[in-house]
Each structure stands twice: as C-alpha cells, then as structure tokens.
Amino acid sequence: MLELAWPWMLLALPLPWLAARLLPRAKVATGSALRLPHAGFAWPAATSGSSVPRSRRLFGLLAWLLLVLAAARPQWLGEPEDIARSGRDLLLAIDTSGSMGIQDMQLGARAADRFAVVQAIATDFIERRQGDRVGLVLFGSRAYLLTPLTFDLKTVARQLDESTIGLAGRETAIGDAVGLAVKRLLDRPENLRVVILLTDGVSNAGELDPRKAIELAVASKVRVYTVGIGAESVAVDSLFGSRRINPSAELDTAMLTEMAEKTGGRFYRARDTAELAGIYRDIDQLEPIADTAEALRPIDELYELPLALALLAALGALVLPSWRPVAMPTRGVR
C-alpha cells in the first residue's frame, strides 16, 4: 500500500498563499529584463499592474504541490515477509578420509559409498536450517575450515556437494576437527555453539588428541553431536564362497559416545540412509531452527518521481508562458 513517511510536511502546502497575502509586493521594473543577441527577441520584464499569466500560475502551483509531496516521502509498503531471528551457530565436521569411500550403503535403489550418502542427507539438512549460521569443516589427515559460519546456506550446501573423498587426506584426525570447530565458535554466545561430527573410523592422525579435544569443548561450552556412519554387516564374495564382514569394526564408538555425553550432545549410529536421515531430524528437534515469528515489510521510496515532475513543472512555469517574440526598434542602415 501507499503511505507518506512524513505527512506533517503537507502543512507547508498553504505557504505560497500566505506569502502572497502577508508579504509586500516587490517593485517591478519596466522595459526588457533580458536582451538576446538575436534581433527581434527579448525577455520582457513585468510591468507595473501587469498580471502573471494563468499558465505560469498553474505550472507554479503544480511544481509546489509536487515538491511538498516529495518532501513528505511517499513510500510503497510491500507484503509482510517473515524473517528468521538469529539462531544457532552450527558447524558440520565431516570425515573425508579414504574409508568414507566404502560402498556399504544404499542411495535410492543402488549401492553408494558413505560419503555420497552423507552429501545427500546433510545437504538437505543444511538447506533447512533457515535462521542459523552454518559452517563446514572437512577432516582427514588434517582438518580444514571449508566454509566459515554464514547465513548463506546454499553456498555451504554447494561446497559440501563439490567436496571429494581424500580432500583433507586419507587418515582421520578427529581431535583436530573438534579443536578447529571449537576455536571457530569461541566468539559466539555460549548457548548457541553446536558441532555435528560425522565419522566412520578411529582417530589415527592429527596433532590434538580426541580426549584433549573433549576437554576443550567442555571448557568452551560447545555441544558436540557425534554420528558414527557405516554398515555393520555386508556380504563379501571370496574363493571360499560368500561371507559377511563388519566394515565398521574400527569405528571408535566409545570415544564418540564419551565426546557427546560430556559436552551435552548425543551419540548416534547411522548404519544406513534411513538412520542417517532420522538422526538429522532428531537433531532438528534437539536444536530447533530459529523462530521466524518476526515480520518485515519491504519499503520502496518513491520521492524521486514527484521531485522530477516538480522540476519539470518549475521549468514550465519559468519558460513556456513567457517565451515570446518582442519587437525591437531598429536603426536605419545608411
């Protein structure tokens, strides 16, 4: 809808009428006010007793009305839009070690490696965290902050989708990943610091021991949700026939459980795609998305249009009614 931001400016509308009534009239000169270099033309000055042309009055009045309207700041208010309040700062720490390439899970109706499943499920989780700042840490032999905390969830999801196994090395540095995530959350409010750590193995690389990382997270009041990914039983064909093995035998569930419990988070086990999707839904409930009850109405300023029209009307009042040829006396040529 249309409204005026400063409607009190409309009180200036009668100022020209008051000025004409209360101020004394100016003395007028006779003859030409301006002589032009072209013979036969001049800009006539007002003479005593002459009246202002009606067209000039109309243009002047229109210019004043438009000028006052522009000063009142006309605005167009759009439809109310929900905006998310500042929510949590959530860092995803995702394992990209070589073991994440094991194909012991399914995506749809086909076999898929662990990292592909994580990419598919976590991408949807990221895009639904409207109102939260989300960042991405990838770790293998080392830990890297791939995406800083940001409200641009599409960029975070795209960065995860474009990541590959082995990007940070082939081993697993869980302690370094947690330590880096905690460091990036230190300047944020204590109740908003959340880390989701997803891995399929045991910490066998890095400079920071996982137990030290747990102490650091506890001291910094960072909640850590740990997710162990990988199937527990798959069939493998060999020379002696088919047998079943546990591809997740090296998963350090004891350490991941300790990390989650001591920091106020929770440990989850994702043996297949359905379990992993359910874990993210559960985290959504434990760490609710930011409230979107606040509304914002976009405002477009429209003063430029009446201001431009006021300028054109003023030019019309100045030029159009007064520009006319005036006969000039000429001297005879010998």
Query: Residue 195: which CATH number?
Result: 3.40.50.410
Same domain for 259 and 118? yes
Same domain for 278 and 304? no
Alpha carbon distance 97, 201 (integer Å): 9
Same domain for 271 and 189? yes
DSSP state of 64: H
Alpha carbon distance 252, 175 (integer Å): 13
Residue 203, amino acid: S
Same domain for 75 and 98? no
- For 100-154, how does the pLDDT look when each residue is reduced to its tens digit (9 = 90+)? 988 888 887 788 888 998 998 898 889 888 878 899 999 999 999 999 999 889 9
Same domain for 302 and 276? no
Same domain for 25 and 121? no
Q: Determine, yes or no, domain membership for 84.
A: no
**Three-class secondary structure of residue 225 per DSSP:** strand
First-to-last CA distance in the chain? 74
How many CA atoms, within 13 angstroms, populate the side-chain half-sphere of residue 102?
23
**Three-class secondary structure of residue 188 per DSSP:** coil
Number of structural domains in the chain: 2
Q: What is the pLDDT of residue 217?
A: 94
Going by their DSSP bridges, the two strands 234-238 and 241-245 should be labelled as antiparallel
> Partners of 199 in the beta sheet?
228
Computed from CA positions of residues 148, 152, 156, 158, in that sequence, does the dihedral angle turn out positive or negative?
A: negative
Of 245, 265, 286, the residue that ends a domain is: 286
Q: What is the pLDDT of residue 2?
A: 83
Task: Retrieve residue 208's tokens.
Answer: 């920071």
Q: Determine, yes or no, domain membership for 158.
A: yes
DSSP state of 14: T
CA-to-CA separations, 35 to 41, 177, 251, 326, in angstroms, rounded: 7, 84, 98, 10
Residues contacting 32, CB < 8 A, separation 6+ = 42, 43, 44, 45, 326
Q: Determine, yes or no, domain membership for 31.
A: yes
Spell out, as residue ranges, where the chain has pLDDT lower than 50. Answer: 47-49, 292, 323-326, 332-334
Helices 54-71 and 15-22, packing angle to 10 deg: 130
Q: Determine, yes or no, domain membership for 147.
A: yes
Same domain for 230 and 136? yes
Q: Determine, yes or no, domain membership for 151.
A: yes
- Contact of 173 with 202, CB cutoff 8 Å: no
- For 175-197, how does the pLDDT look when each residue is reduced to its tens digit (9 = 90+)? 999 999 999 998 887 778 899 99
Q: What is the pLDDT of residue 333?
A: 46
- Contact of 63 with 296, CB cutoff 8 Å: no
Same domain for 68 and 147? no
Q: What is the pLDDT of residue 224?
A: 94
Q: What is the pLDDT of residue 284?
A: 81
Whether the model clears a pTM of 0.75, i.e. scores above it, the answer is: no
Which stretches of the chain are DSSP H helices?
Answer: 15-22, 54-71, 114-127, 153-161, 174-185, 210-219, 253-263, 273-286, 304-319
DSSP state of 7: G
Q: Determine, yes or no, domain membership for 326.
A: no
Same domain for 227 and 268? yes
Same domain for 100 and 189? yes
Q: What is the pLDDT of residue 51?
A: 61
Going by their DSSP bridges, the two strands 89-95 and 193-199 should be labelled as parallel
Same domain for 239 and 309? no
Same domain for 139 and 243? yes
Write out the residue range of the structural domain in which residue 255 sits: 89-286
Q: Determine, yes or no, domain membership for 331.
A: no
Of 286, 306, 328, the residue that ends a domain is: 286
C-alpha gyration radius of the chain: 38
Q: Determine, yes or no, domain membership for 281.
A: yes
Q: What is the pLDDT of residue 49?
A: 47
Alpha carbon distance 222, 194 (integer Å): 6
